[in-house]
Amino acid sequence: MKNITILSRKAALAAASAVLLATLAAPIGTYAYTAAESAIPAVIEQTTSSVVAIIGKPMDSKKVWEASRYNLAHGTGVIVRSNGYILTNAHVVKDMHNMTVVLSDGKSYTGKTTHYDEESDLALVKIEATGLKAAQFANPSDIRVGEPVMAIGTPLSFALRNSVTYGIVSGMERSVQSKYQLIQTDAAINPGNSGGALLNMKGEVIGINTLKYVEYGVDSLGFAIPVHTVQHVLDHFFKYGKVKRPYLGIELGESWEAVVGIPSGNGLEVTYVEPDSPAAKAGIKQGDVLLAIESSPTGTLVQYNEALKNYLPDQKIKLTLKSGSTQKVTEVALGEDESSATSLVQDAAGSYIDADQGKTHIGDSHYGWSMKYPAGLIKSDQDADGRSVSFMDAKGEFSIDISIESDQSEDLSPLGLLRKLDEDRYGYTILEKRYIDQKPNAYALLVGKSSYSGELMQSRVFLRGDTLFRIMLTVHSEELYTSSFKRNSYNDLLDSFVLSYDENNAGLKDISVYQTTDTVATEYGIAFDVPADWDGGGWGSSLSYHSEDEEKALLISVTSAASGDTLKAWAERGEKKFEDRYAADYRKTEGARDIVIDGVPAVENEYAYTMGDKWHHVRVIYLIKDKYKYELAVYYPGNADMKEMESVADTLKKSIHFPKEWANRSLGFIQDEDDLLDPARTVTYTSKKYRYALKAPESWYGGYDSDKDSPVQSFLFEGGGLTVAADDSGDLQSRLNALEKEHKKNAEADAAYSYTVTDEELFGVPVKKFATQYKSRNIPYTLHEYVFTHENIVYSVRLRINDAVKTDEQWKRLNETFQSMTFTGK
């Protein structure tokens, strides 16, 4: 359940004391039930079987080591279909693994999230069950402020499943940190109630509990997602598999009145319009004010979202706008908002919800320490390299902190070891301090009492080689520590701490997070290791991983081998493709060499290229297995640590293997587009608005998929491209003056900058040509700009190419693309 503000421990105790005092002070008397209250038991009996409890592991998939038997999250759900579909909050099941759903009769099922929508905070969970009792939904128009309601959920503890609280509808159409309107209620909603039902006295669901305010001095302030939003989302889930949201392409700002909650008709100011968006195409501009969508006023962002909820992508709607002093109605064809689309990824991570079943000890295999692991011990924190780890007791009685420090003196005396405890003594009254010379590891001991909180602390420091190990126990109550039974149990736990790790002990849980590589297994039947601190993933038939600074990367592509193709021929084509791309002075090739990867013949080559500023290297491995071509390319800059990159490449080659069980059984033919690529093949681009067409190589990108009505179109390749800018104002001289001024400014700023201006005739009209050969940031390039007018449209065409890719063929293609331009009349 979402909390807006977390109640402090002190505030919680004060609040609890106030409630207790108020209760004890109340006179004993007879309580008269209202008619509504007397009907509660019957309503609960009728509806509670439609409410379930949900529990699972909230886990970051990249940090499986964070799994703990107590690291669980729970919430509530409502059965919406008898065949096992359960509605809950999206925040309940987000990142939840090993989900278990418990029905009101105690039966448990494995759950899986099938639909998820973070914008509405709603999700669907599926269990394999039939004959369930689905909840009934109220008519949205029948809900009234002041009507009695009940909340059913799983507050605070999973042991409190299907708890019921009672209250009223306190308000409607509330806007509280939500995209849509909410119902306000004073029925108690506590952590774990999220996803549960808010019911009327007919037993109908009027909302799904979603959040509450928790703050000292704030009481009975909970919120639920209203039934009309619930039904809208459910309808989309089952009809489209997701919530389809329309898209305008604008950012809006609320008025001061809307922000503070004062009703007003000021509307929403357009603060940004995305280029080429539906709003942009409709002529909406920054500074316009949106007053209404169709007949629905838009005084707040929630009203705006509620209004858009009534429409689907591709529908046309009318917007009432105020532009300056003019009010107008504009029709807009809605696009589809893909920004909130969520891909659900769930793994098994072990079917048992207790991740530590059978573990009696805990330790770190890398740093070499271990100790007992009582059932109530919870790992609460651990840094990225594992040098610091914290534990807490499930009952909150004590905590343990372990830290590791390297590069210490190996010959520390008992006195030197005792002095290492000095940093632990500040703020404490020292009760005991001594050196314990015992096997297997001697240590320095410090026991103290906090001068501020009264907590008791025991710290022990060990030395192994040049590494210092510190374990500190903090007992939060002196009474607990002075209990001989408790103190003996604490000392027994500390005494179990040893500077060794027994890998043969099956009951020893390893919490080591230290690793140099991660193993990636793919659906393409290939697995490999990448550096642990690299990020990445896959899309299409490629996988990409990169270092934090993105300077180093691994790119893997998988395609089908054409009939008759060979490893040698494929590798030779790869080398030729590289050499054709760059001019001779800007590339280097190490040369192909035969290697073997997991028993499979492969070819390795290394390329290097530069645009003139710095060199980049690519080490490529080509291999063919089971009719698939696997190309693995390691990219790194010329100034990288070559030993490190050699290690990365060697680790990659040694780790590659082909686990058939991971290959997707549906894996079919994947076309290698390079096999179809014809560098000379051109595609015609036509701009009807600006009345020109040209033929550009199909291998270039840009232009074809962009807005055909845009005055600027670019056709690009690595290191260059052609750009056409069209201006239908017909003002040729202004464009020439601006270009002349730009070149003169550059020449004044840098004496090495030079340019020529010539007059030519092209396309049957006079053309002004500006030619530049210059080096920008050590990258030399050629730039030709042609300016001319044709049928009152001024065209500016820029041909730019870096010298590094200015091969004869590419320069020829660039000029041929320009010369292919044709023009049509009005």
3-state helix/strand/coil string of 192-222: CCCCCEEECCCCCEEEEEEEECCECCECCCE
| pLDDT-based confidence at residue 11 (cuts at 50, 70, 90) | very low
- Please give the positions annotated as active site: 91, 121, 194
Average pLDDT on 248-266 reads 82
For domain 361-505, the question of CATH label 3.80.10.10 is answered with: no
More confident residue, 526 or 514: 526
Cis ω before 297 (30° cut-off from 0): no
Q: How many C-beta atoms surround the C-beta of residue 32 within 10 A?
A: 7
What pLDDT, on the 0 to 100 scale, is given for residue 344? Answer: 55
What pLDDT, on the 0 to 100 scale, is given for residue 94? Answer: 86
DSSP strand pairing (250-253 vs 246-247): unpaired
Topology (CATH level 3) of domain 517-675: Protein Transport Mog1p; Chain A (3.40.1000)
Share of the chain above pLDDT 70, in %: 89
Average pLDDT on 394-417 reads 93
* CATH number assigned to the domain covering 246-336: 2.30.42.10
Strand arrangement of the beta sheet that strand 73-81 belongs to? 108-110, 96-102, 51-58, 73-81, 85-88, 122-126, 112-117
What pLDDT, on the 0 to 100 scale, is given for residue 9? Answer: 32
- Write the pLDDT tens digit of every residue in 132-184: 999 999 999 999 998 999 989 887 767 778 788 888 998 888 877 667 889 99
What pLDDT, on the 0 to 100 scale, is given for residue 210? Answer: 87
- pLDDT for 544 beyond 50: yes
What sign does the dihedral 63-65-71-74 (CA atoms) show? Answer: positive
Alpha helices in 176-292 (DSSP H): 227-240, 256-260, 278-281
Average pLDDT on 103-131 reads 92
| pLDDT-based confidence at residue 18 (cuts at 50, 70, 90) | very low
3.30.1280.10, 3.40.1000.10, 3.90.1150.10, 3.40.50.920: CATH of 682-823: 3.40.1000.10
- pLDDT for 822 beyond 50: yes
Per-domain residue ranges of the chain: 2-240, 246-336, 361-505, 517-675, 682-823
- Write the pLDDT tens digit of every residue in 550-599: 999 999 999 998 877 899 999 999 999 999 999 999 999 999 999 999 99
3.40.190.10, 1.10.340.30, 3.40.220.10, 2.40.10.120: CATH of 2-240: 2.40.10.120
- pLDDT for 378 beyond 50: yes
What pLDDT, on the 0 to 100 scale, is given for residue 36? Answer: 58
- pLDDT for 98 beyond 70: yes
What pLDDT, on the 0 to 100 scale, is given for residue 161? Answer: 80
- pLDDT for 758 beyond 90: yes
What pLDDT, on the 0 to 100 scale, is given for residue 5? Answer: 35
Mean predicted lDDT score pLDDT of the chain? 86
More confident residue, 220 or 432: 432
Using a 10 angstrom Cβ sphere, with 0-12 exposed, 13-18 middle and 19 or more buried, the burial of residue 39 is: middle
- Can 361-505 and 682-823 be said to share one CATH topology? yes
- Give the pair of three-digit tokens for residue 549: 């600074």
